[in-house]
Amino acid sequence: MKVVAARPAGNATLLLAATVVVWGCTGRVIAVGAPHSEPITLTMMRAVPAAVLLLAALPFLRCHLPRRSDLWFWTAVSGLLMVTLFLAGFTEGVVRAGPGNAIVLASTTPFFVVILGWFVAGERIAWQGFAGLVIGFVGVVLVVSTQLGGDQDGRDLAIGMACALAAAIGWAVGTFVIKELVVRHPDVDLIGVTAGQYVVGGVALLVLASTFEDLGATEWSSGELWVSVAFVSIVGCALATIAYFFALRAMSATTATAWSFLSPVVAVLLEIVLGHAPRAIVLLGMVITIAGVAIVNTAPQRPSVVSRSERRRRRGSIPRPA
């Protein structure tokens, strides 16, 4: 399925804005279903319904799963990173280290994208862009500052923080993989790739849930559970991921991941709507976060550093990959 965009950058911004709003609301919705299920089982229920829905929708959308072995390989790798590792790691991070600690560590994703871009693809970020990332990250820390720390023991805290950091790295590497796919294969079917990701990642989560948790302990008849699952799987996973991937076509991976800083801001705005007034430091953090993301989006894009192997390939000494 081809998506025609007259103004790609503007459309990408709208897609990311919608994605951030959805992700910002996801935490509150998950909290509704959490009492009715074990953490990994609930995480699995985010991925598996999304996979089923996407597979069912492919024929109607005239989309298809990856048809080449190399595309399937990277789809599977990114699925294990962005679905299995990210969802499970972040959930365990919240449970063991507390939501504030987990959000701060998960928000390091853009910095790992910068590191990957520099060492793998020779991409350089302007100093204004990096300054915007630092400012945005500081803002996130202030937004969740009232939730930092916690009563967890040392072992649980360490495991939770490691899981949240692993989730951040997984999302960063997965984003980098998808960005490389759309650069090398501009016509790649992103809806099909997303479906493949959730099939692979969902199956892996199902295995983990069956191995480490008692599936029978889940209250399968709970209406609250299924309402929560319906939103987080269909909207929060399937649709939001597709929107995020399409936005990657028109902007750098660093800029796209920087938008994730705004998810905690949306979460606070939702709490305000629900009648929970935040502290002044949280409001200050929201302003700083928004300013940081704005700086990243307006920073000049620096040209990539072409690697030695790439220069040889362009001269013809290395055959162009198929």
Q: For the whole model, what pTM was predicted?
A: 0.83
Find tokens 């009648």 and name the residue.
275
Distance CA 161, CA 104 (A): 10
H or E, element range at 261:
none
Question: pLDDT tens, position by position, for the chain (322 residues)?
Answer: 444 444 566 788 899 999 999 988 888 888 888 889 998 999 999 999 999 999 999 999 999 999 899 999 999 999 999 999 999 998 888 888 887 788 888 889 999 988 888 877 667 778 888 898 999 999 898 888 877 665 566 778 888 889 999 999 999 999 999 998 998 898 899 999 999 999 999 999 999 999 999 988 899 999 999 999 999 999 999 999 999 999 988 888 888 889 988 988 998 888 888 888 888 898 899 999 999 999 988 877 655 444 434 444 434 433 333 3
Q: Give the model's pLDDT for residue 18.
A: 93
Q: How many CB atoms neighbour CB 212 within 10 A?
A: 11
H or E, element range at 103:
helix 99-106
Distance CA 286, CA 231 (A): 25
Under 8 Å between Cβ of 201 and 84 = yes
Q: Give the model's pLDDT for residue 4.
A: 42
Tell me if residue 301 falls in helix, strand or coil.
strand
Strands of the chain, DSSP E: none
Q: For residue 228, with 0-12 CB atoms within 10 Å meaning exposed, 13-18 middle and 19 or more buried, which class applies? A: buried
In the chain, what is the straight-line distance between the N-terminal and C-terminal CA atoms, in Å? 22
Under 8 Å between Cβ of 169 and 86 = no
What are φ and ψ of residue 290, in 5° steps? -60, -40
What are φ and ψ of residue 125, in 5° steps? -110, 135
Closest CA to 99 of 32, 36, 28: 28
Under 8 Å between Cβ of 288 and 138 = yes
Find tokens 């894009």 and name the residue.
301
Q: Tell me the helices (H) and strands (E) count for the chain, helix number first.
A: 15, 0
